[in-house]
Chains A and B, each alone.
Chain A
Amino acid sequence: MATATEREENLLYVDGPSKVFTIRQGLASTRFVAVSQARFTMHDGTPEIFTLAGESGSGKTTLARMILGLLVPSNGRIEFRGRDVTLITKHDRRGFMKQVQPIFQDPYATFSPLKKIETYLYETVRNYHMARRADARRYVEQALQAVGLSLQEVGGRYPNELSGGQVQRISVARALITNPSLLVADEPVSMLDASLRMSVVNLFKKLKEEKHVSVIYITHDLATAYYAADRIAIMLRGWIVEMGPVENVLGHPLHPYTQILKQSVPEADPDKRWHDKTALAALETEEYLRAGCRFAGRCPQAMDICRQSEPKDVFAEGRTVRCHLY
């Protein structure tokens, strides 16, 4: 347990929040734990790119929404600079949002196609009282420069006139206007071509190094995660099954699930083609409701104990891993 002073130095302190959804079907209701006991800390002063990776339905977005204060955890708590994010009043909400900014998946869905894209930048300046009206233009220009664009290029344009990579970089520019300390980017590159992905991922690296912005980078693309991230948490059916520095976790994965994930990335190298076969996921809810380890049904190394009791987090080889093998 961290002491009070330690907690204030934490940028983000995620202390085992869980989120339970209840599915009602007629009279029956099923409890569905979307996120269970996620635990990690991000420190002020040491900006980092923290990746949440996993398949769809692994609880990545639910966890992100809890961090943004958009969903209230069923139990556990999330603190931002020592304050519980669920207890932020309406009045303080703007101050919190100034510090923590979201970036969403589909760049074209973020912006209305009927509005000029610069409108969003000016609105954000105004809503957060970042600059006087006369200075707004200079301020917007600065934000665009940080993402490698300029008003000359994008001013007066509508989203459909720009490429996906440009629109996504503009949504990063919008998030930067408030000088945030933390960006929560939910699948920011999954709608982009591989060649454009690097422009967004390189931007995160640059922001971390030059502006000391920490980024929670949510993705299922392990190759960009390995490239950009400092730490990674692999999520499976609501659990963080393995977490640590990206070189350790993806370089030498310990959890069988991480191993399968790593092997499933199609590498752009014809010498590394797959020759063996993999087992595919059972139905989703079935895995969520299973007793014991949630990966037991697909795990090539499953033992009897895996079907009976839930594994605990253990520290091994420079990362935490939740598996009975260790």
Chain B
Amino acid sequence: MTTNTIAAVRDLRAYYITNAYGVRRTVKAIDGVSIAIRPNEIFGIAGESGCGKSTLLKVMLGMIEPPLTVVEGMVGYAFDGQSVDVLAMTEAERKRIRWKQVSYIPQGSMHVLNPVRRVHDTFLDFITVHHRAPRAEVETMIRDYLRDLGLPLQVLRSYPHQLSGGMKQRVTIALATILWPKVIFADEPTTALDVVVQRGVIQLLKEIQQREENTLVVVTHDMGVHANLCDRVAVLYAGQVIEEAITQAIFKDARHPYTQYLIRSLPKMDDKSERVSIPGRPPALDNPPGGCRFHPRCPQAMPICREAAPRLATIQTDHRVACYLTPGEVDDGNSD
């Protein structure tokens, strides 16, 4: 890992392996993923449901429980010049870095808050477990933080059911970021929220990132969120990264046919021209197609696409594509 990387995944293969009644089933949710996330950036992970986004997140957070098994690869972080290997850690060591160094905003945050405790108590519980400090200090810390984020202090006295979905989501974001984590993962932070509230949540995430200068990893299928928030975006398809570039390039100069489809299928305001959805559907990951995994749906598939999977290659600075149509310099997985 070089100095310009805060979190890295290398050649990761993580499968769900089940063994029921003698039938062994392997779902290859993550199959050979390498990404390097830089300090002080907002990194987006895009893809349809079932492409392995959430599994990648679980492995990066060290939340690996059977049937999820890491078959191969490395997941590491670099904090203050010291690198740590998540997969080699014990559960106790992982607990020590969780929330304080690496934090996580789960999907469907509305269900995360304890329904029978006031928000204030949830904050107190959370902080006292991870951060030893006198009670009075913790109290002011909570108040100051909420005030800084522009959340009304009344929420502290409320029970979760008294808050709207958007407010609950913002409270959860505050909770996940109050201990100054260096890397924050957000899983579908705006899904299931109204547009106006969505915008508030995106603003809040951006603000926290800019203020604390930490690293934010946003996982969502909503390309609008990526366009608005991220510095760089990686597109996942069937458990593999098929394209990775700075946001501008992903939206204006996508090279992989899948990414091109993804961008072109999005409806735009002020444009009623016909949009086509991607033909077919994502492959089942227990038996993915051979060669390039997109070839059965690809309009430009060539014979070679059926035979061997293309490797992720750098075609320009900060632009990597896995497609035979755009040959580039294949790196050895240590690009950053």
Q: Write the residues of chain A forming the contact surface with B, with a CB cutoff of 8 angstroms.
A: 55-56, 163-166, 190, 193-199, 201-202, 220-224, 226-227, 247, 250-251, 260-270, 272-274, 277-278, 280-281, 283-284
Contact = CB atoms under 8 A, between A and B. Distances in A.
Contacts, number: 131
B165 interface: yes
A197 B267 CA distance: 10
A280 B200 contact: yes
B268 interface: yes
A260 B267 contact: no
Interface of B: 48-50, 164-166, 190, 192, 194-200, 202-203, 221-228, 247-248, 251-252, 261-263, 265-272, 275-278, 281-282
Given A195-B262, A222-B195, 4 more contacts: A223-B269, A266-B222, A274-B228, A278-B203
A199 B276 CA distance: 8
A268 B277 CA distance: 16
A139 to B, nearest CB: 26
Given A223-B267, A226-B269, A270-B248, A194 B194 contact: no
Given A195-B265, A224-B267, A250-B269, A268 B196 contact: no
B265 A194 contact: yes
A269 B250 CA distance: 10
Nearest to A191: B192
Given A227-B267, A267-B227, A274 B199 contact: yes
B50 to A, nearest CB: 8
11 contacts: A163-B50, A195-B221, A195-B261, A195-B278, A196-B277, A220-B195, A266-B224, A267-B268, A268-B251, A269-B251, A274-B199
B165 A56 contact: yes
A300 to B, nearest CB: 13
Contact of B269 (A193, A267, A277, A278): A267
A266 B225 contact: yes
Contact of A268 (B50, B199, B224, B276): B224
Contacts of B195: 55, 220-222, 261, 264-265
Contact of B199 (A166, A201, A272, A278): A278
A165 B281 CA distance: 9
Given A55-B196, A202-B275, A260-B196, A251 B270 contact: yes
A48 to B, nearest CB: 14
Contacts of B267: 198, 201, 223-224, 226-227
Nearest to B170: A280
B196 A193 contact: no
Contacts of A260: 196
B223 A273 contact: no
Given A250-B269, A251-B270, A268-B268, A198 B251 contact: no
B208 to A, nearest CB: 14
A284 B198 CA distance: 16
